[in-house]
Amino acid sequence: MRLASAPVTWGVWEKTIGRTDLVPPELLLETMRGLGYTATELGPPGYFSPELLERYALALVGGFAPLRFEDADAFREDVETWLDPVVDVLRTAGARGPVVLAGGELEGPHDPPDAAYFERVNRAVERCRSADVPVVFHHHAGTHVESPAEIESLLEATDVGICYDTGHALVGGGDPLEVARMCAGRIEHLHLKDVDPTKLGLPLDRAWEEGLFCPFGEGAVDFDAVLAELDGYGGWTVLEQDRVAVRIDDLPAVRAVEQSNLELVRSRDGHSH
């Protein structure tokens, strides 16, 4: 497998953009490069740019685009504000990685996704493909596609590749190994996370704030089993540990965790680069 890193896990994802106390992008990229990462995802609009990534010799291997597929008007708005800018950046950068589609986060229980939901997914997928930019769909906790049954519905209603996420598979109510098997043949992008099982009963926003996604090897995800199941996967592997906010003062502790995460995955992958 090829190992990459993900900026959305270092306090620069969509929940924290706009804060004034975040790690400056240059410092974050310098830290990532120093740890040995060779690539990254884009993060939220305006944080990284292709020019900045090129300056730090980091390949761009994906861009996250959350779209409210459940609502026609909101979907049109999100295509303009989220999807098209991500497509443009990836196309400008040579599209080494995919647009990572995900549904909008919901409050409380939700109905299963309907045919209109998947019709909009397919429209977003075609919009990416027509721009010659790869695209995958990320099953994501707190959205209409989080549980194994909902993921199965997505697989049946679309032909989009899957961004398989070990952490979201578990938080969404599934077994990461079984979800990986369900998505076999469709996995084109990989997010690795570990999950603190003591946080699973909390509301999702609170769980995130309290460290739901813990350092690799300390949680409930069986990385040995999952990586064995994914043997032969040749896409980018993105190491993630979502945090709600990371300030400059937090960076040494964050750096130590990310170094440990990278070492754990490399120890299980004898031919990473």
Digit-coded pLDDT (tens) for 210-227:
888 888 889 999 989 998
- Report the alpha-carbon distance of residue 110 to residue 87 in Å, rounded: 29
Higher pLDDT, 10 or 262: 262
Q: Select the highest-mean-pLDDT range: 2-11, 212-221, 251-260.
A: 212-221
Is the pLDDT score of 8 beyond 60?
no
Phi, psi for residue 129 in degrees, rounded to 5:
-65, -35
Check if the beta carbon of residue 156 is closer than 8 Å to that of residue 118.
Answer: no
- Report the alpha-carbon distance of residue 251 to residue 10 in Å, rounded: 9
pLDDT at 207 (0 to 100): 86
pLDDT at 19 (0 to 100): 64
For residue 2, name the pLDDT band (cuts at 50, 70, 90). Answer: low
Check if the beta carbon of residue 192 is closer than 8 Å to that of residue 166.
Answer: yes
Q: pLDDT above 90 covers what percent of the chain?
A: 48
Q: How large is the average pLDDT for residues 147-172?
A: 97
**To the nearest whole number, what is the mean pLDDT of the chain?**
85
Is the pLDDT score of 171 beyond 90?
yes
* CA 147 to chain centroid: 16
Closest to 130 in 3D by CA, of 62, 93, 162, 83 = 83
Check if the beta carbon of residue 72 is closer than 8 Å to that of residue 116.
Answer: yes
Higher pLDDT, 58 or 198: 198
